[in-house]
A and B are shown apart, each in its own frame.
Chain A
Amino acid sequence: MDPGEQAADLRLENHEIAAHRWSKEWLFQDGDDLFEHDFGVHEGYGPGAFRVHRQGVGGPDALSCAECHHRGGPNGSGDLSENAFFEGDGSDPASAFERNPPHILGLGIEERLAAEMSAALANARAGAITAARSSHSPVQIALRAKGVSFGSLTVRPDGSQDDAQLEGVDSDLVVKPFGWKGSAATLREFLTDGFQVHFGIQFSRPEAVGDGRPWDRDGDGSPNEITDGMMSAIVLYVARLEIPVISPPKDSDLLARFGHGLEVFQDTGCATCHVTSLPLRNPTLKITTGLTSNVLTEGEAPRPRFDVSNSDGTPIFLFSDLKRHAMGAALADARPTYITTIAYGLPNGPKERTKIPADVFLTRPLWDLADTAPYLHDGRAPTIDAAIELHGGEADASRAHFDALSSEDKAALRIFLLSLSRYPRIEFR
């Protein structure tokens, strides 16, 4: 009973993956084990435990991923009691950003969708720069990706840009689908941060938090707490999880109401931001050298049958535009969030500190909404109706439409939203 025995089994390196030493199935299993694993101090957990995070360091505040992602089944959302308190003072919940754990299904698809949108925006800018150079005058372009407008951008002949008219995306034009405020573009980045702030488990890399020796930044005496290879396994695992489905009622009366609910969803204006579907053209997610995953066709059952024959892309029923919106003062955090971005999104550009205003949030994808109460970023809304009522800012008009709906229409809308769910799964435990 060596307590390190299981941890040792879970360790693997990226160069082993590149040499195809592990099958995808094995890596998925490794990620699954890590997801459920209660991390111990001997594995680099800690130091300490802080329910309210400390600025720049994090908690730790949980023992395993599964602890806060369990609602509605494995990898689901978290309850109110599992809300995380990010970037606080270590004790007072009011000092921190309170966040309800979202479910983690379909994230590989979200990363690919966002990457395609970022590429479209970067292309548009590159084209504008060329035009500005040849015309020796500033060029203004409208920015659109997958039918979603991100405002407009003016580029000057010297390559600099005026981003005052940008909407819902940072000046790097990188669409970031992860985090309630849309703070990370890739699963690897997001999960790496998660291991740091929730477990105090970190890479032996310079960007790890702390001023300890390079192999033990947090100075807890546990070197090389997690390897790139383990993180690759976790990214692959998350990317291959089941995908939420639309599962309407069977009863004919309820089914009619479901259909009407979808119309109400669109007519009321919900679908302006919670865009019903986005087309995915290239489902291949690159995870590390020698490891990719087709986020549509590979992975665990159950998953919807995707129509991959359409050359315009496979529609993904995400119910989000992957864009940030101002949601009004009532939903705002106490202060803005700052994230690190790369200037102009250039591969070797300088790092910048980018502000996300206090009232600005990413349009929450609604797939599997049925299993994710309590709702909104801090779980303040116990019911679907309460969640809609709390929408403000850019959603003011839609909320007003909702308020004016008949009780029949509201019921239909609820029935439609409750169909956004996941298949039941049998487990033995």
Chain B
Amino acid sequence: MKQTTKKKTKKLKRYIPLYFMLIPGTIYLIINNYIPMAGLVLAFKKFNYQDGMWKSPWNGLKNFKFLFTGNDAMIIIRNTIGYNLVFIVFGTALAITVAILLNAVMSQRAKKAYQTLILIPYLISIVIVSYIGFAFMSQESGFLNKSVFTENPIQWYATPKLWPFILIFIHLWKNFGYNSIIYYATIIGIDPTLFEAAEIDGASKWQQILHITLPSLKTTIITLTLLSIGRIFYSDFGLFYQVPMNSGLLLDVTNTIDTYVYRALLTMNDVGRSSAAGFLQSILGFIIVWLTNQLVKKVDKDNALF
């Protein structure tokens, strides 16, 4: 008994520098991620600048009402969740495919070049992406109308039915590089002897992918997917606001919770309502992450996040 305590103290002493290194990160988390949570109370208050956060009168659930007035609630929730689901499914599939392809490249120099190239879109600011899009789709001077659809020019920014495809394409193009690097990092960590053994046993490349690479990626896939599901009620503001050039005619397919709240509260300065929207997004996100995690736990306990 005494010895174990001694051992523990010794261990603690040994790791003290590590604990110290934890301090800045912890302080940062407390200041930036935990203290502001108190602000959630604003979602239930009729916020008044003179009275401040705590003394403002309570407002019940009235701040949430604006999200559900009119026909827009269904549209914005459908768009937010719908796009995110498509992004998760296609994004993951594309990223894994690219990561496997990257792993199959033999030349080190080519590998490095590809890694850099696929990361570039991720690093471009969304405002610049929106203008690249405009250069393609401008009605009068865009590349597509000038070179491809010269006979029947298309009013790109006034044709809603095209935009689900455009937005999905741009999102995938912009993000696949970053995600594939994460999957690629996992793939190069797989024990190479597994592949060697499989090859000796006569497994084809396809069989190796199916039976070695994919199962080894499972934990990473689950973690990344759970993280994305947690943000399923949020949307990439730049993608849905900047890329369609804020064109009103496209709102039915481009309006998400974030852009709706932004447009609605732009001129009203209403702290309570904006907090209510943020509150709803994070709480619903948390519930869904929790549910998904429970599901993962049931199917495969080792891979659950918590």
- Physical interaction between A and B: no
Interface residues of A (CB under 8 A from B): none
Interface residues of B (CB under 8 A from A): none
